[in-house]
Amino acid sequence: MALIVHKYGGTSMGSAERIRNVSERVAKWHAAGHQMVVVPSAMAGETNRLIALAKEIEPDPDSRELDMISATGEQVSVGLLALALKARDVPAVSYAGWQVPVRTDSSFGKARILSIDAERVHADLAAGRVVIVTGFQGVDPDGHVTTLGRGGSDTSAVAVAAALKADECLIYTDVDGVYTTDPRIVPEARRMEKITFEEMLEMASLGSKVLQIRSVEFAGKYKVKTRVLSSLTPPDIDLALEAASGTLITFEEDETMEKAVISGIAFNRDEAKITLMRVPDRPGVAFQILGPVADANIDVDMIIQNQSVDGMTDFSFTVHRNEYQKALGVLEAQVRSSIGGGEIVGDPKICKVSAVGIGMRSHVGIASLMFRTLSEEGINIQMISTSEIKISVVIEDKYMELAVRALHKAFGLEHRSGATESVAGV
Ligand code: ADP
Ligand code: ASP
Ligand code: MG
């Protein structure tokens, strides 16, 4: 007997029929003798609907009230799933985040989980009940409902698994695992049997929305055995077969891992670029520009400074698109006058495309293959950033799909053994 956490995303919970399927699958695991905790998302489209409704009333809604509204989607889901389980004579109980409680900080809309009380859930499990806990939401120290940011149910599930010391956390979604890139963009993308935690962390942080980045961080911190798999298989398939399907996140490389240099291509359309033209090239200028931006609580991702000509240079950086206007405002109001310089130019029509792989550590030539591939497609690279296991480029967003497809092909990701072969010569 094991303690298992299942997470079901919006599509998996998308209709009464799908919820019945989820209940059938959970009942199967329960009947096999496992203690079961289930963390569902809101039904597909529901969170978007709730946020749009709030914005109909007030275009710039108060963040506390917005969380109060957007958290309700998950509350409906847990109740419906409990009903579906009970209809199968499976004892079940549903809880909202505050009832567990899932304690978070007070950053409405992007709250961080601080702790989860395991006592109540353990008591229900000991009594043989399936426990259903809302994804995406928690409660702050003052009792206010908070939400964890879009895609946050993944994080709820892995955090619940960590708090309960679960044997495994299974993330059921509308694809059958983690692919070399989003299979909706590249149909030839290939599912990985396993992915290292480090690679998954990079893929998630660089835009692969199959897992929210914080869920991967939790999995790493608490060594939660986490697997991504399909909720769309028949719910009555053999349990052992299901348990071994999908993609497992591993904490150590082993000899059964595929020896790919690049394991995946990630992309992100959520950023915008800002350039300050002809700023003086002297000590302290980067701080003068980015200090006020940081003070305004705006995260900066990539930064680039050109070589100076006549003591003047261009300085560019990227921010999340949601914070683009705010960042421009800060620069106009606080920076331009203090450092002088020319125009401030903004460009929201960019995207970031990244190649990720731990094999990069021991291979040279990955960057040159990436740059050659983009140049052969006539795609101009605006910014570059690298780490030990990733290379990211900023390009014009209209080229995103072309770039992702070309890089996926160039790195041989669609063939089982191609990844090693295709970059062997570089
Ligand atoms: P859920 O509602 O189950 O949380 P999401 O829509 O948040 O599902 O995440 C699953 C989606 O992530 C897939 O439908 C797929 O389009 C997208 N995706 C992006 N990158 C990848 C990848 N590398 N592997 C698999 N899916 C990916
Ligand atoms: N329902 C939330 C969202 O749409 C959380 C999630 O699906 O993970 O973002
Ligand atoms: Mg998701």
- What values do phi and psi take at 316, rounded to 5? -120, 150
Q: Who lines ligand 2 at CB under 6 A?
A: 9-10, 41-42, 47, 73, 135-136, 150-154
Q: How far apart are CA 147 and CA 112, in angstroms?
A: 9
CA 288 to each of CA 174, 307, 324: distance values in angstroms, whole numbers, following the listed order: 46, 18, 18
CA of residue 137 to ligand 2 center, whole Å: 10
Percent of the chain with pLDDT over 70: 96
Amino acid at 245: S
Can you read off the two tokens belonging to residue 247? 């993609």
What pTM did the predictor assign?
0.91
CA of residue 259 to ligand 1 center, whole Å: 24
Can you read off the two tokens belonging to residue 392? 């990211």
Q: How far apart are CA 207 and CA 228, in angstroms?
A: 17
Matching residue, tokens 């983690």? 178
Residue 357 near residue 252, CB atoms below 8 Å: no
Ranges of each domain in the chain:
3-253, 264-410
Please indicate whether residue 184, judged by its CB atom, sits closer than 6 Å to ligand 1: yes
CA of residue 1 to ligand 1 center, whole Å: 30
CATH class of domain segment(s) 3-253: alpha beta
CA of residue 303 to ligand 2 center, whole Å: 30
Please indicate whether residue 211, judged by its CB atom, sits closer than 6 Å to ligand 1: no
Tell me which architecture the domain covering 264-410 has in CATH: 2-Layer Sandwich (3.30)
Task: Count the Cβ atoms, other than its own, within 10 Å of residue 276.
Answer: 22
Please indicate whether residue 156, judged by its CB atom, sits closer than 6 Å to ligand 1: no
Query: For 146-191, what is each residue's pLDDT tens digit?
Result: 999 999 999 999 999 999 999 999 999 999 999 999 999 999 999 9
Query: For 179-225, what is each residue's pLDDT tens digit?
Result: 999 999 999 999 999 999 999 999 999 999 999 999 999 999 999 99
pLDDT value at residue 425: 31
> Looking at ligand 1, which residue's alpha carbon is closest to its atom 12?
210
Give the chain's length: 426
- What values do phi and psi take at 229, rounded to 5? -150, 175
Q: State the number of CA atoms in the 13 A half-sphere of 387 facing the CB.
A: 15
Q: How far apart are CA 16 and CA 22, in angstroms?
A: 10
Calculate the CA 335 to chain-centre distance.
33
- Residue 92: is its pLDDT beyond 60? yes
CA 359 to each of CA 183, 192, 241, 259, 420: distance values in angstroms, whole numbers, following the listed order: 22, 15, 30, 8, 9
Q: Mean pLDDT across the chain, nearest whole number? A: 93
Q: 266-270, 311-315, 359-363 — which is least confidently predicted?
A: 359-363
Query: For 297-349, what is each residue's pLDDT tens digit?
Result: 899 999 998 888 888 899 999 999 989 999 999 999 888 788 876 789 999 99
pLDDT value at residue 82: 98
